Amino acid sequence: MLRTPSHLNEEALKALDSTLKKLTAFMKKCKGIGTTSSSSSLLPELEKLNVSKFLDEIATNICEAKIKISDVPSLVEFCVKLASLYEAFSPILLSELKKNLPVKKTDTIGNASKLRVDIK
């Protein structure tokens, strides 16, 4: 996936399904990453849907998800697939990750175990 990223062009995006019903169902599953749905189960749907208008929300859901160490590989695979399809996803995800990391030594850490998993 990383060796040959094939970002979607305008024609390819138009060919993907962008019906509201399917996108809404997909976004509900994205909100459940780490709790109810596995991110690897979202990969087949991701290849069929045009989620370009929801990249901000997906990145936020990923960063706010309470994931286990065992879920990290599938979540990384999901993020890599998103980044390979949508060029704008990587900067959005990085921005969301920076919001959740402490900047100074004096910053308080609300949930240390979540931070530990996020850093890994």
| 67-95 pLDDT, tens digit each | 888 888 888 889 999 999 999 999 999 99
Q: Phi and psi for 108 in degrees, rounded to 5? A: -85, 145
d(CA 90, CA 92): 5
d(CA 119, CA 97): 9
Q: With bands split at pLDDT 50, 70 and 90, how would you rate the model's confidence at 114?
A: low
- β-strand partners of 49: 17
d(CA 44, CA 37): 13
Please determine, for residue 9, whether its predicted confidence score (pLDDT) is greater than 70.
Answer: yes
16-69 tens-digit pLDDT = 988 999 999 999 888 888 766 677 788 889 889 999 999 999 999 888 888 888
Write out the two tokens for 16. 């993907």
Please give the model's pTM, rounded to 2 decimal places.
Answer: 0.79
